Structure 1
Amino acid sequence: MKKNITIGVTGGIACYKAVEVVNELVKRGYEVNVMMTNNATEFITPLTFQTLSKNKVITEMFDKVDKWDTEHISIAKKTNLFAIVPATANFIGKLANGIADDMLLTTLMATKAQVVIAPAMNTAMWENPILQDNIRKLEMYGYNILETGTGKLACGDVGSGKLLEWQKIVENIVERLK
């Protein structure tokens, strides 16, 4: 039986790297579903992920339905592993504090699957004590937080907070599904 992975994409510039993650996981034979926040759709279109995953991309909490389904519950149940690529400071803060105001957060609150979070943000945001407290809180709840990379960021700063290379994210996901 194919393992099911749900990739949550949040609205940071690094979300274009999630395309490679989805593409590679599909190539390796996994069933991949994608959920995007509204902010993520400002950077990349759902059609890109739909084309690669061969599955409908969920972006809205209250989509028009063609069949009855409590979608966030059914996705939460069928998912073997949830990965958030990239996870913005905003998203991490909401999740750490139980705020479920969009489809992705609502579904995460309903899943019992492993959750991998790949943070990506400006160095100052990454080093902010509030963000670091939210990271520790999520780790305490059993979420798997990946390290960030170091280098030149989209804003021109150099430092930590860069999204981990997509190949390392894929390897982490694959390893956790063994």
Structure 2
Amino acid sequence: MGMILTQRSKLSLKFLCIFFFIAQSLATEVETNPHVTKPSAYEVLGHYNFPIGILPKGVLDYDLDSSSGKFSAFLNGSCSFSLEGSYQLRYKSNIKGYISRGKLSRLEGVSVKLFFMWVDIVQVLRRGDHLEFSVGIAGADFPLDNFEECPQCGCGLNCNHQQVRETRTNPLLSSF
């Protein structure tokens, strides 16, 4: 038994074909047209409920697979700085991991100096108004407002010899 298309069905089918063609064209334009910009790495952090200050200034580009959450962020070389003289942080030129709303996991390329050795930060969780950083066996909890600004490689948040903000810790939780 053959399928009989009515004039209305033919019109609907044509509309769907045109719609899919336009949608594919727009997707291709975003991928190939340099004038159509993708959001910055900092804007993407906001989409996943993270503050921009968990990345230093100067992220050049990033890759993100939105279906799996796998990401890579690229800096122009490695980056290190101290925050208020207490924590020394180091970012490799390529930072990798998985991102979901309020969670960075399987993080690679970010480390903190504990006593005399560097330890990788492997996970960051957002818990209300705090961020929890984990190095595997230990962790630290910091208020979210400590990450409103991006630190700068070399000088952190105190770049013009002006104290920008105090880094506060929660004394109830173990810190790095």
TM-score (norm 1): 0.23
Q: Which has the larger radius of gyration?
A: 2
Q: Flag the structure with higher helix content.
A: 1
Higher relative contact order (CA 8 A, sep 6+): 1
Q: Flag the structure with higher strand content.
A: 2
TM-score (norm 2): 0.24
